[in-house]
């Protein structure tokens, strides 16, 4: 029976769902060998380095990934960087098809003066920092200030604000990076603003995340009731389901009695950033509001307004995604996930997306597979295979267990490779 070789570049949710879709398309007449190539020594992508550490239920999807990985036809090639250790052109030459699943890792710019100031950060830097991503371990944001401003109106902005606003004790039982927990313990930040350009009816938050906020034990969550009532009026009598759900959740927060906590997380709508101000370092942000110009004094600014693909992969980019037609980039080369459609949807959205693209891939396969080859023969990298990743994973879980954590993350590449014995 024909057995086709498929390379998937990126071992995050989109990559695993693509592999799963290929497994589901197998039959007596069609089989696949899948090589999953990941730049980091650890797989799982955003499930490991993007999902907020205080949302462990979302991380449980990793069980699905491990089932895919151990199904018998998937080989993990971790610590292998496409473009450095092997080129895309080589992959498309050797494999029957190549799938790009690298996501969107570069934070979008605000495009306003002062964005380059010290302590003006992107969520694409801050989120992986507190999640223990090796590339951002040395970020060291300065938390020696009373007020922080997060610009954005999606769940990533909310995550950033919440992590800054909660008492660090709430992070102790999570898999947040140890360096981040220590930094949060020393933090002087007590007031965090989430500033959205448009009204609450246009916010991209999801209601489950909003409904969790009143449960924060040490943090006031503040939303102006008049802001939400105005948004409800503008949304009309028959708003979309998710809009109504969001507004209901925000109204419940607005109606919540104020508490006497010293930490506050406050939502501001219709605040359009004009400039970040300071002498070498962030000191304030100026906004355009309905009532005129307004400045907020702060020592930290985090922009969370979206992501775009990394241009280093040498593939054409159109805004927040790679140029593609229904997932096809060019002959033999496909894209799935955020790299295909831009940073939208939740983790599960990638499953149906990947399934559709893999159906197209199968339709376009040649009548006979290309000659078999072993990717290891082309590489000089210290490869993290599935068994080696399992050693790393088990070591982290074992280290976290006596501390009451799901895992204690190793952060540096060398430490991770050392745990795997590579």
Mean pLDDT of 367-384: 93
HSE value, Cβ hemisphere, 13 Å, CA-based, for 412:
4
Q: Tell me, what's the pLDDT at 38?
A: 97
Beta strands in 139-178 (DSSP E): 147-151
Give ranges for CATH 3.50.50.60 in the chain.
109-305
Give ranges for CATH 3.40.50.720 in the chain.
3-105+308-384
Q: Tell me, what's the pLDDT at 262?
A: 93
**Token couple for 6:** 């498929």
* CATH number belonging to the domain at 109-305, selected among 3.50.50.60, 2.60.120.200, 3.30.1390.10, 3.40.190.10: 3.50.50.60
In angstroms, the CA 78 to CA 420 distance is 11
Q: Tell me, what's the pLDDT at 312?
A: 67
Q: Tell me, what's the pLDDT at 345?
A: 76
Q: What are the residues whose beta carbons fall under 8 Å from the beta carbon of 206, sequence distance 6 or more?
A: 155, 242, 246, 346
Which has more pLDDT, 223 or 313?
223
Q: Is the pLDDT of residue 60 over 80?
A: yes
Q: Is the pLDDT of residue 270 over 90?
A: yes
Range name among 233-247, 287-301, 306-320 with the lowest pLDDT average: 306-320
- Which pTM was predicted? 0.94
Strand 120-122 relative to strand 300-303: parallel, antiparallel, unpaired? parallel
Mean pLDDT of 52-81: 95
Percent of the chain whose pLDDT exceeds 70: 100
pLDDT per position as a tens digit, 166-205: 999 999 999 999 999 999 999 999 999 999 999 999 999 9
**CA 247 vs CA 56, 204, 253, 329, 399: distances in Å:** 25, 11, 10, 39, 42
Q: What are the residues whose beta carbons fall under 8 Å from the beta carbon of 216, sequence distance 6 or more?
A: 162, 165, 166, 170, 265
Q: What is the CATH number of domain 3-105+308-384?
A: 3.40.50.720
pLDDT per position as a tens digit, 3-15: 999 999 999 999 9
pLDDT band at 258 (very low <50, low <70, confident <90, very high): confident
**β-bridge partners, 266:** 193, 222
Q: What angle do CA 36, 128, 208 make, to 5 degrees?
A: 95
**Token couple for 161:** 């604000």
In angstroms, the CA 48 to CA 286 distance is 34
pLDDT per position as a tens digit, 324-340: 999 999 999 999 999 99
**β-bridge partners, 264:** 191, 220
Q: Tell me, what's the pLDDT at 167?
A: 96
Average model confidence (pLDDT) for the chain?
A: 95
**β-bridge partners, 82:** 86
Q: Is the pLDDT of residue 403 over 80?
A: yes
In angstroms, the CA 107 to CA 122 distance is 6
Mean pLDDT of 65-69: 97
Smallest Cα–Cα separation from 138: which of 419, 411, 418? Answer: 411
Q: What are the residues whose beta carbons fall under 8 Å from the beta carbon of 149, sequence distance 6 or more?
A: 192, 193, 195, 285, 296, 298, 300, 301, 302
In angstroms, the CA 278 to CA 129 distance is 24
Mean pLDDT of 138-151: 97
Mean pLDDT of 351-366: 96
In angstroms, the CA 195 to CA 202 distance is 13
In angstroms, the CA 24 to CA 292 distance is 56
**β-bridge partners, 148:** 192, 300
In angstroms, the CA 247 to CA 264 distance is 20
Helix ranges restricted to H, 166-310 = 178-186, 207-212, 225-235, 241-255
In angstroms, the CA 159 to CA 129 distance is 13
Q: Tell me, what's the pLDDT at 349?
A: 84
């Amino acid at each position: 029976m024909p057995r086709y070789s498929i390379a998937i570049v990126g071992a995050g949710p989109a990559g695993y769902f693509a592999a799963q879709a290929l497994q589901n398309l197998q039959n007596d007449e069609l089989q696949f060998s899948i090589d999953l190539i990941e730049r980091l020594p650890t797989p799982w992508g955003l499930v490991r380095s993007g999902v907020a550490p205080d949302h462990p239920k979302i991380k449980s999807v990793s069980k699905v990934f491990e089932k895919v990985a151990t199904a018998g036809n998937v080989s993990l090639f971790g610590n292998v960087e496409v473009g450095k250790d092997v080129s895309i052109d080589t992959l498309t030459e050797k494999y029957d098809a190549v799938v790009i699943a690298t996501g969107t890792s570069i934070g979008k710019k605000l495009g306003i003066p002062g964005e380059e100031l010290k302590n003006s950060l992107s969520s694409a830097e801050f989120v992986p920092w507190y999640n223990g991503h090796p590339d951002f371990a040395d970020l060291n944001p300065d938390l020696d200030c009373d007020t922080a401003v997060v610009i954005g109106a999606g769940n990533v902005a909310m995550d950033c604000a919440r992590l800054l606003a909660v008492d660090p004790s709430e992070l102790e039982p999570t898999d947040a990076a140890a360096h981040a927990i220590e930094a949060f313990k020393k933090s002087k930040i007590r007031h965090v603003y989430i500033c959205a350009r448009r009204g609450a009816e246009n916010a991209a938050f999801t209601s489950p995340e909003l409904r969790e906020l009143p449960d924060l034990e040490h943090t006031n969550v503040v939303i102006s009731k008049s802001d939400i009532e105005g948004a409800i009026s503008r949304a009309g009598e028959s708003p979309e389901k998710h809009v109504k759900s969001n507004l209901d959740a925000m109204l419940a927060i607005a109606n919540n009695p104020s508490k006497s906590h010293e930490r506050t997380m406050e939502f501001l709508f219709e605040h359009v950033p004009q400039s970040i101000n300071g002498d070498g370092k962030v000191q304030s942000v100026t906004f355009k509001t309905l009532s005129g110009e307004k400045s907020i004094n702060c020592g930290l600014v985090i922009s969370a307004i979206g992501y775009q693909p990394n241009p280093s992969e040498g593939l054409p980019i159109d805004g927040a995604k790679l140029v593609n037609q229904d997932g096809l980039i060019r002959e033999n080369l496909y894209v799935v996930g955020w790299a295909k459609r831009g940073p939208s949807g939740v983790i599960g959205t990638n499953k149906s997306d990947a399934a559709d693209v893999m159906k197209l891939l199968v339709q376009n396969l040649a009548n006979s597979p290309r000659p078999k080859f072993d990717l290891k023969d082309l590489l000089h990298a210290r490869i993290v295979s599935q068994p080696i990743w399992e050693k790393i994973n088990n070591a982290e879980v074992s280290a976290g267990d006596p501390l009451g954590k799901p895992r204690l993350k190793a952060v540096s590449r060398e430490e991770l490779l050392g745990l795997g014995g590579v």
